[in-house]
C-alpha cells in the first residue's frame, strides 16, 4: 500500500491530465505511472481498456469523474467542488458536456485529424475537419456566453469542471482552427489563459509542448501526442470523464 495516490495512464491524455490536476491543485504528492490503455501493470488494469486508473490505500478505482471526486474529498487542500447544490449542478453540467459533446467534436473531430493522424501517416480530410469546426465554433460560443458573465464555469471559483475542459482546450489551441476560434471567443480565451497560468496546470502540462500555430515552433510535434485520443475513458456511462 502506498501513502500517495498512484495514477496510471498516458500523460498526454486529457483524462489522465485531469486526475493529475486534481492532485496538483490540492497540493498533494502523487505518482504517475505510464500505462497504455488495455495494459496491466503490477496487477492494475482498467476493465474496459481505458485510462486513467487510480490505486491508493489498497484500492483501485477507474473512470475520471469517480477518481476526481474521490481525490477531492479525501485529499487535504482547497475544495474543488462547490458547497451549494446549484453550483454543484452547474459543475456537473459542464463536466458532462465536456465528456459527452465537446470531447467528440474538439479532440476526435479536430485535434486528432489535424495533429495526430498525419503523424501516423494518415491523410487529412479537410472537409471532415471543416464540418467539425462549425460545431466547435458553436460550442465555444456557448461557453463564451457563460464565461462573459462569471469567472469560471460553475461560478466565481475554480472547480473540477475547469480541470476537465482546460486540457481539451489546451490541445485545441495547438490547431490552426482551434487557435482562431479561441481568439474569436475572448471570454473563453481569458478563462483558458487564467487556468493554464495556474501553478498546478504548469506543473502537470505533458510533453510534448506544441506551439500555437501563429507562433514559430521551436519543438516538433512529438508522436507522443498520439496517446491523446487512444487513452480516452470517454463515454456516456462516464458522464464526466475525459481522456
Long-range contacts of 119-128 (CB under 8 A, 24+ apart): 119/221, 119/223, 119/225, 119/226, 120/223, 120/226
Q: Is residue 29 part of a domain?
A: yes
Structural domain boundaries enclosing 53 = 6-74
Residue 60 or residue 242, greater confidence: 60
Q: Is residue 236 part of a domain?
A: no
Task: Supply the pLDDT for residue 233.
Answer: 54
Angle separating helix axes 160-172 and 186-196, nearest 10 degrees: 110
Residue 219's φ and ψ, nearest 5 degrees, are: -140, 140
| Kind and range of the H or E run holding 9 | strand 6-9
- For residues 94 and 58, state if they share a domain: no
Query: Per-residue pLDDT averaged across 193-215, rounded?
Result: 79
Query: Per-residue pLDDT averaged across 180-204, rounded?
Result: 98
- For residues 165 and 184, state if they share a domain: yes
- For residues 105 and 142, state if they share a domain: yes
Residue 114: pLDDT over 80: yes
Position 227 confidence tier, pLDDT thresholds 50, 70, 90? low
Q: Is residue 243 part of a domain?
A: no
Contact criterion met (CB below 8 Å) for 235 and 46: no
Cis preceding linkage at 188, omega within 30: no
Q: 6 CB contacts (<8 Å, ≥6 apart)? A: 30, 31, 32, 33, 44, 54, 55, 56
Could you give the count of Cα atoms lying within 13 Å of 71 in the half-sphere of its Cβ?
33
- For residues 95 and 42, state if they share a domain: no
Contact criterion met (CB below 8 Å) for 194 and 162: no
Residue 220: pLDDT over 50: no
Q: Is residue 1 part of a domain?
A: no
Residue 226: pLDDT over 70: no
User: Domain of 65: which CATH number?
Assistant: 3.40.30.10
- For residues 111 and 43, state if they share a domain: no
**CA of 12: how far to CAs of 140, 181, 192, 194, in Å?**
22, 22, 18, 20
- For residues 103 and 187, state if they share a domain: yes
Query: Per-residue pLDDT averaged across 195-205, rounded?
Result: 98
Task: Supply the pLDDT for residue 193.
Answer: 98
Task: Supply the pLDDT for residue 225.
Answer: 55
* Backbone dihedral region for residue 163 (phi beyond 0: left; psi -120 to 50: alpha; all else: beta): alpha
> Of the residues 55, 74, 93, which one is the last residue of a structural domain?
74
- For residues 35 and 90, state if they share a domain: no
pLDDT digits 0-9 by tens, 31-67: 999 998 888 888 888 988 889 999 999 999 999 999 9
Query: Per-residue pLDDT averaged across 151-160, rounded?
Result: 98
User: Domain of 188: which CATH number?
Assistant: 1.20.1050.10
- For residues 200 and 159, state if they share a domain: yes
Domains in the chain, number? 2
Amino acid at each position: 500500500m502506498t501513502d500517495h495516490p498512484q495514477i496510471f495512464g498516458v500523460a498526454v491524455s486529457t483524462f489522465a491530465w485531469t486526475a493529475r490536476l486534481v492532485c496538483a491543485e490540492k497540493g498533494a504528492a502523487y505518482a504517475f505511472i505510464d500505462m497504455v490503455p488495455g495494459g496491466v501493470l503490477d496487477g492494475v488494469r482498467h476493465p474496459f481498456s481505458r485510462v486513467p486508473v487510480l490505486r491508493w490505500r489498497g484500492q483501485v478505482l477507474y473512470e475520471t469523474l469517480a477518481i476526481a471526486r474521490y481525490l477531492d474529498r479525501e485529499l487535504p487542500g482547497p475544495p474543488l467542488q462547490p458547497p451549494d447544490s446549484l453550483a454543484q449542478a452547474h459543475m456537473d453540467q459542464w463536466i458532462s458536456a465536456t465528456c459527452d459533446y465537446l470531447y467528440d467534436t474538439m479532440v476526435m473531430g479536430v485535434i486528432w485529424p489535424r495533429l495526430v493522424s498525419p503523424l501516423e501517416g494518415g491523410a487529412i480530410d479537410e472537409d471532415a475537419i471543416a464540418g467539425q469546426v462549425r460545431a466547435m465554433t458553436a460550442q465555444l460560443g456557448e461557453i463564451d456566453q457563460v464565461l462573459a458573465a462569471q469567472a469560471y464555469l460553475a461560478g466565481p471559483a475554480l472547480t473540477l469542471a475547469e480541470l476537465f475542459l482546460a486540457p481539451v482546450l489546451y490541445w485545441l489551441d495547438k490547431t490552426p482552427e482551434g487557435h482562431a476560434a479561441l481568439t474569436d471567443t475572448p471570454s473563453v480565451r481569458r478563462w483558458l489563459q487564467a487556468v493554464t497560468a495556474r501553478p498546478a496546470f504548469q506543473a502537470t502540462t505533458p510533453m510534448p509542448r506544441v506551439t500555437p500555430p501563429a507562433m514559430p515552433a521551436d519543438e516538433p510535434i512529438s508522436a507522443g501526442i498520439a496517446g491523446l485520443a487512444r487513452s480516452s475513458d470517454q463515454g456516456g456511462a462516464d458522464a464526466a470523464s475525459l481522456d
